[in-house]
């Protein structure tokens, strides 16, 4: 667990319907994610018409020692490639710069536009290359 937030990743039972993925290279875990591949948490976001289900990233983390080196961009591209659905979403309070820097669109909830948590959306039809910007 070294390099990952222990409050996010515990040894408890997996939640029903969630998938837990580890992104590794050469036997080293680089990033990990908890996803809901059939999320209906699409609500109503200003200016967006989302399908009934999306792939929702519940938690995503790059190993602390590897942050700022293109690993996150590469790992998110690998997650997107792993799933079939064209729409992905993640809610974030503190990682806005990361999600927008890799091409995700910030969307505010129509009924709560001033909420501190923004939703970031990505249409996989604009899938980035796994090699783009990675020094791995």
The domain total for the chain is 1
Closest CA to 60 of 24, 27, 35: 35
Question: Does 132 reside within a domain?
Answer: no
Could you report the per-residue pLDDT of 91-120, keeping only the tens digit for each?
887 888 899 999 898 887 777 767 766 788
**How far is it, in rounded angstroms, from Cα 102 to Cα 120?**
11
Q: What is the pLDDT of residue 94?
A: 80
Q: What is the pLDDT of residue 135?
A: 47
Q: What is the pLDDT of residue 9?
A: 60
Residue 115, both tokens: 């909420």
Report the predicted TM-score, pTM, of the whole model to 2 decimal places.
0.78
Closest CA to 117 of 89, 133, 94, 88: 94
User: What is the separation of C-alpha 25 from the centre of its chain, rounded to a whole number of angstroms?
Assistant: 19
Residue 6, both tokens: 């222990």
Placement of tokens 């989302």 in the chain:
50
Structural domain of 58: 19-126
Could you report the per-residue pLDDT of 37-49, keeping only the tens digit for each?
998 877 766 666 7
Question: Does 113 reside within a domain?
Answer: yes
Distances (CA, A) of 16 to 21, 29, 39, 59: 15, 24, 12, 15
């Amino acid at each position: 667990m070294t390099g990952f937030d222990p409050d996010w990743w515990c040894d408890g039972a997996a939640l029903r319907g969630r998938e837990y993925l580890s992104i590794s290279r050469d036997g080293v875990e680089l990033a990990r994610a908890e996803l809901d591949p059939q999320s209906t948490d699409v609500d109503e976001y200003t200016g967006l018409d989302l399908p009934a289900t999306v792939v929702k990233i519940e938690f995503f983390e790059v190993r602390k020692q590897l942050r700022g080196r293109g690993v996150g961009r590469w790992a998110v591209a690998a997650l997107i490639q792993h799933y079939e659905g064209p729409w992905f979403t993640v809610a974030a309070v503190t990682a806005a710069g990361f999600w927008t820097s890799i091409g995700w669109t910030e969307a505010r909830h129509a009924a709560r536009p001033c909420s501190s948590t923004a939703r970031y959306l990505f249409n996989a039809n604009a899938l980035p290359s796994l090699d783009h910007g990675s020094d791995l």
